[in-house]
Structure 1
């Protein structure tokens, strides 16, 4: 049958559809009888144009008539008619007119309802259609003009319109087949773009599957988990701080905007080509360099510059991808929150107490529990993550109950070992507990919506743990009492100490008692006066009279004052950056004077550094960077007996060297350090507390600081370049990979019940 002169082309409108149906029935009957002629003519109506011709066999108007006729015989279209059905499924239906798209969807829904064997083929093509398709221009149906010259001409749809049609198909199938999510899940995993794919490829697919999760709630948790996994993969690969890039280059790159790919027509994409250089220019420049020494040095310089440029370009690419994914995820969560808190009135609404609003709010709470579960199993164990955790940071601001439960989970994990579904004993490893303590510190310090009461409650919990640990370390029967200071047995103690120091630096104003509060508590019972400090400590560390009398502090902070003068000596094993800032703020506020202890720790560190390194056979001494490492908790192995014997007697100490295991575990890691992704930062900035907002007046903070030795200042200065959120963390094996959440979480309800039991807020009483 030709396009215009087929046997049905001249049929009148009154009986045309009947003639199409009669031809279809006859073709199928002839095929069963062994005559394939009419059937192959029917198949040819859906045949794609040949490479030498852009004219299809059938016009879109005729195709709609054929599909309408075939809809009456879908129960007969079994696998023996695969050629016909495959041709229909291969039609570029989503790029054609809206009328044809709706007709095609209606036919396909009828087909899979009658013949379930075609469901996999339909779903596979639908999910693939949610990805970024650069071949849509070539697949566009030539029967509909691409350029609109008349009112009846077909105007190519935008990508957003195409994706809406595919979502309509999937929603229609979901309404017909309740078990469809189980078939969709593996297809979503299979079509997930590789992390090396371009930004637009990642963004399009992730936005589409997030939209799918809004109407296919059975897959919501798995889809959100897969998106977070991809964001984490990109986040941990960014190994340099964004502010290390040249400011002008960073601005030039990050301000580039390719526009929303959903708003572009499928035949008008301007971002399909890769911008990666093929390196030909570099190869030509290097090939002309001679082998002389000067030329070789120049060649090495060019190679180094080229590698540096490639590294910067790679980081920029990662940043762009991550920023786009984070922005899309923030928008998705915000859209869901608005749906759950401001539902549109519908025909099902009977009244305010009809259950509709309550159901929506319970879905909002379920979404929070989903985010919290993903955080616990994927984000918390990933120490190099710098941005992904801000999804929960933002969501916690929506309801004080969310922030309360988040802190409850973190405190349970850090202080009491938590309940781990992955461990038989139910005890979190020390490195996870330390990470949770860092999250507590960073969250309370940086979240502007955490009020004074919650801040004090958190500090009280942290200080209670410090007090219990110090008490246990003095009881001979306790295992921890035999562990020397600085060893791994005390790693959680040091992590919690560091958390308290960090919170104090940011929230010291909220931790100070007002005059009325001191009067209520009886003149400040939690104030550690100078006479309460042991006399031996006065003599050894020169702290007499350094504690300002009469200043009241929140309950529990007296434990901090005792902890830093205890044999565990947290000022020695916590981050030098945190210790240094804590010392300044503590002195400024009159809370405590720490510089004598810090100076004593530095002297001890220098001696131990010389003992560990010794004077080699050629008389070389330890470098300053090694000395700095020793101060923070030695990262190098303890010296062997042979090494100790080779040292001079003046370099030896009577006590053994400190254990070396702690330095790696207590890397500086505060996960809510400033958010550096430019586009998605709009969600974080209104909720964020900057250091400049809370820093004490520096005019007074420098008094007495000069008493710290010059050597201390020099050695601490070695760590100024360390990033608090940089590459100091460790990756922990076991994080789930992209797509592994799509199978669902059978323990989701149990996790939610555990979370509800972890609240620290009086609001939940």
Structure 2
């Protein structure tokens, strides 16, 4: 018997062999490994592992070997060649130039098309390349801050997604397998910010790419779920607590005018800038959430420009109902819906409001109904792009439900038993605090408002004025009296107490009575997308504000502004700040101006009895510390 011929890898430094010769050696090595002869096979595996600082000759050899393997995929066995497959699937495109990247993805495509055994392995390898290799995380974090790093990222991502498209063309069922892999491998909330952002960027590329009809909805739902995961992890235990000498509109910290009034906490002066720095500065979870929301906002903008927004919004609204609406700790994620609505008020905006209204009047779950009407009230109050006529129509639907509810009740004042009704009443008063004047300035809407049975509801023996938040009740009562539109009885709240026992009981443990989801967004980068379409309380001109006469606002001016849904002062706040940051020099604002409630300067808190009855402070977003 002739001696067995040894198969040796040609010397890498003497590249005199041809591609066809190497193809021959590679095929023989694969076949020999099945028979137990692994010398040349092991050298081939070593070439796949070699990736650090490759010289041009080594790059050429690696490219040639990858191409040879592509032509010999029929010889690759999933059991006998496990070490080779592990080496191939362990390669990272981030470590190589375009020649190696192209050869590697060509091999992946051939493997996926050759056998169903390799499809998941190839897809997992591609998805693992959505982010740079963890072993070099520090290097890539710094690299991605530089132009060449961003160029590298663009090359890798384009290569990955073109490969996924090619595999989908050859293996039609691969997108369905891909969506589970992407979802399962999604980085957790503790992943470093640049990597989780890049991963989500890849998910959004899938949503808008060639496979969006197959995987797009899954990507959006997974992203919304991760936003909520980040959102609820942000701890607000140390943030300013509600006290009833500060109001929901006192502490919005949003006005862009000069101020000589500052919040005091623990003896320290606290402006908006110092507040954000103290409670959000250095908060890694908040920074990740902020970056991901900006990425999502940009994607929605792109969808709007391409005419796909309404299709995407259908997925978002379903995801919102399943995750955001039921997450009472949500602080910022809901602004994805707000921003999407601002891009298309006529379609998305109305769908959002109608969905919330339907949940309020029809759902069988009281907590969902309370949350829905709180979202609806906050949306109608805060969205500058919602017309006054739409607000009036939606408000009338809430009023009608509450009126019909009253007709079936005998007046048993039980906050827990009637909490959905009280949530509806509070929503009515909250919206009117923001929108009453804009509706009254338009004759048609004024007539519609006066025909609503608001007085019948508020005067019913169920006594919502005693159960709803005293601060909201008192603001509404003052506005109604100043505008002479409703006869609202004085409330029975003991002004010496922070809140009545009935009000304290309303809402149960979750205290959803305290929930105003679209309070000002405190995330630095996200806020610049929301601000141009957001109504801050300082922008609402109350009729008892003495500034009206000083500034000479005419009825014509009011009517013109009302056509867009709000009476606001153009204070320049609806501007788009550059580079992803709010202008912190302008954060030092007049918090005193932000209240619609006149202050008694003789009071310790600048409010006297009225000071205790202002709207509850929302300096921290849309939740209460007790529920955290």
Distance 1:22 1:557, change over 3 A: same
Q: Which of 530, 555, 574 is equivalent to 1:684? A: 530
1:43–1:87 CA contact under 8 A, matched in 2: yes
User: Normalized against structure 1, the TM-score is what?
Assistant: 0.62
Tell me the residue number matched to 1:630.
500
How far apart in 2 are the matches of 1:671 and 1:723?
A: 10
Aligned position for 2:186: 192
Whether 1:566 aligns to 2:460 is: yes
**Separation in 1, partners of 2:282, 2:359:** 33
Deviation at 1:92, TM superposition (A): 3.8
1:405 counterpart residue number: 351
Q: Could you tell me how far apart the structure 2 residues matched to 1:22 and 1:403 are? A: 64
Bigger relative contact order (CA 8 A; separation at least 6): 2
Q: Name the CA shift for 1:124/1:253 in 2 (closer, same or farther; >3 Å).
A: farther
Verify the 8 A CA contact 2:509 2:627 in the aligned structure 1.
no
CA distance in 2 between counterparts of 1:138 and 1:714 reads: 57
2:69 pairs with 1:70 = yes
Q: The residue matched to 1:200 in structure 2 has which SS?
A: helix
1:95–1:162: 8 Å Cα contact kept in structure 2?
no
- 1:195–1:554 Cα change, 3 Å: same
C-alpha distance 664-78 of structure 1, shift in aligned 2 (>3 A): closer
Change in 2 beyond 3 A, CA 1:401/1:729? farther
Q: What's the C-alpha RMSD, in Å, of the aligned pairs?
A: 3.9
Secondary structure, aligned partner of 1:46: helix
Count of residue correspondences:
532
Asked if residue 319 in structure 1 is aligned to residue 286 in structure 2, the reply is: yes
Partner of 1:381: 326
- Structure 2 unaligned segments of length 5 or more: list them: 1-8, 241-251, 254-262, 549-594
The farther-off stretch of 695-704 and 74-83 is 695-704
Distance in 2 separating the partners of 1:131 and 1:46: 20
1:378 is displaced (CA, Å) by 0.9
> Residues 546-571 of structure 1, C-alpha deviation per residue, up to 9 Å, x if partnerless?
xxxxxx54246541122222212211
Unpaired segments of 5 or more residues in structure 1?
141-145, 147-153, 256-308, 342-362, 419-426, 474-480, 519-551, 607-623, 636-659, 733-765
> How far off its partner does 1:442 sit?
1.3
Give the whole-Å Cα distance in 2 for the aligned partners of 1:238 and 1:3: 60
Q: Compared with structure 1, are the counterparts of its residues 441 and 365 closer, same or farther at alpha carbon in structure 2 (3 Å cutoff)? A: same
Query: Does structure 1 retain, via aligned residues, the 8 Å contact 2:113–2:170?
Result: yes
State the 1:107 CA deviation.
Answer: 1.6
Q: How far, CA to CA, are the matches of 2:59 and 2:20 in structure 1?
A: 18
How many Å apart are 1:38 and its aligned residue?
3.7
Structure 1 residues 174, 94: closer, same or farther in 2, change over 3 A? farther
Name the structure 2 match of 1:575: 469
Aligned partners of 1:316 and 1:112: how far apart in 2? 42
Structure 1 residues 385 and 43 mapped into 2: Cα distance closer, same or farther (>3 Å)? Answer: closer
| Contact persistence 2:465–2:473 (CA under 8 A) | yes
Q: Which residue of 1 aligns with 2:546?
A: 699
Contact in 2 for aligned 1:504/1:582 (Cα 8 Å): yes
Q: Deviations over 1:147-194 (max 9, x none)?
A: xxxxxxx99963343333333333332222221233223332332222
Give the Cα–Cα distance (whole angstroms) in 2 for the partners of residues 155 and 225 of structure 1.
Answer: 29
Q: Which residue of 2 aligns with 1:667?
A: 513
Map 1:401-550 → 2, pairs under 5 A: 401-414=347-360, 416-418=361-363, 427=364, 429-473=365-409, 481=410, 484-512=412-440, 517=444
2:485 matched to which residue of 1? 591
1:23 is matched with which residue?
A: 25
Query: What is residue 163 of structure 1 aligned with on the other side?
Result: 157
Q: Alpha-carbon deviations, 1:615-642, whole Å to 9, x = none? A: xxxxxxxxx6xx434355244xxxxxxx
CA distance, structure 2, for counterparts of residue 253 and residue 61 of structure 1: 57
SS at match of 2:524: coil
Does structure 1 conserve the Cα–Cα contact (< 8 Å) formed by 2:597 and 2:610?
A: no
CA distance in 1, matches of 2:458, 2:547: 23
SS of alignment partner, residue 623 of structure 2? coil
* Cα displacement string for residues 563-611 of structure 1 (whole angstroms, at most 9, x for unaligned residues): 22221221111112211211221121112354x522xx02xx58xxxxx
Query: 1:313 and 1:138 mapped to 2: Cα distance?
Result: 24
1:719 CA drift (Å): 6.8
Q: TM-score, normalised by structure 2?
A: 0.75
In structure 2, what is the Cα distance between the partners aligned to 1:3 and 1:139? 32
Distance 1:133 1:108 in 2: 18
Residue 623 of structure 2 corresponds to 727
After superposition, the Cα gap between the structure-2 partners of 1:105 and 1:253, relative to the gap in structure 1 and judged at 3 Å, is farther
Superposed CA deviations along residues 342-399 of structure 1, whole A, max 9, x for unmatched, are: xxxxxxxxxxxxxxxxxxxxx5432111111011111111223232112111212333
Larger Rg: 1
1:130 corresponds in structure 2 to 130
Question: 1:96-143 CA deviation, whole Å, 9 max, x = no partner?
Answer: 221221121112211221133233332222222213534248999xxx
Once residues 499 and 225 of structure 2 are traced to their aligned partners in structure 1, the CA distance between those partners, rounded to angstroms, is 33
